Amino acid sequence: MAPRKLAAGNWKMNGDLAALAELDLLREAHPEPGCEVLICPPALLIHPMKARLGAHATAVGGQDCHANASGAHTGDISASQLKDAGATYVILGHSERRADHGETDADVAAKAAAAHGAELTAIICVGETEAQRDAGETLAVIGAQLAGSLPEGASAANTVIAYEPVWAIGTGRTPTEAQIAEVHAFMRERIQDRVGDADEARLLYGGSVKPANAAEIFALPHVDGALVGGASLKAADFGAIISALEAAR
Ligand SMILES: O=C[C@H](O)COP(=O)(O)O
């Protein structure tokens, strides 16, 4: 069976309570989405977002969690606290966290293990910088990130992989279709010995996905959805991306 497709929005450090009105528009446009839909807002908005969505199928997730279950970690949030607030997913190892907070693959793996322990699905992000791509290191970089960031116990049910080339995030630039397809095929093969059931795992593409390019990206083999940043903030754009994913394959 093909993996259930996933349209995931990452609001990053954007949005406030007023921005939750976008959810009403999304609900109206997609009362019963034909793919899984997820929005990961800033942690403060997880609980009110979940409440605003009511019975709608859209899932809510966090953008990071601590590797420990609780304790003296000022400013941090545990996986179980995300779960308690209504989250069912958490994004981990986003390149912005790797760059801003020095997160290593080992940190990401520890956080993913904590997420799994709290019954959250971890969306683990990997991706090369432009310099790494120019140097021909893309597959080596992604292979190493996958090897280091996936924890023991990762499975297709509890782990989603997002390929996000760092140079494509927020830039309006995207890899060629062949480049995306190459990396996704590589990831599918590489995670086999880590998750066991690689064919069932969701592999997302992220980086400047928008309504204008979503359909062609979703038509590529081994692309099971998208992790969308800027275009997830407006219901009209995110809704169009959801429609493209619903129509894909
Ligand atoms: O998590 C989302 C990605 O970083 C993509 O962001 P973007 O769609 O704004 O390029």
What is the model's pLDDT at position 197?
87
Predicted ipTM > 0.85: yes
Q: What is the CATH number of domain 6-247?
A: 3.20.20.70
pLDDT tens digits, residue range 109-118? 999 999 999 9
Which tokens belong to 116? 């799994």
Integer-rounded Cα radius of gyration of the chain: 17
- Residue having the nearest C-alpha atom to atom 3 of ligand 1: 229
Is 170 annotated to bind a ligand? Reply is yes
> CB burial class (10 A; 0-12, 13-18, 19+) of residue 147?
middle
What is the model's pLDDT at position 193?
85
Active-site entry in 103, 164, 184, 222: 164
Neighbours of 52 (CB within 10 A): 18
Q: Does residue 164 carry a catalytic annotation?
A: yes
The predicted model scores a pTM of 0.97
What is the model's pLDDT at position 196?
83
In what helix (H) or strand (E) does residue 212 lie, and over which residues does it extend?
helix 211-218
Residues with CB under 6 A from ligand 1: 10, 94, 164, 169-170, 206-209, 227-231
Is 167 annotated to bind a ligand? Reply is no
What is the model's pLDDT at position 27?
95
| Measured distance CA(158)–CA(34) in Å, rounded | 21
Low-confidence ranges of the chain (pLDDT < 70): 1-2
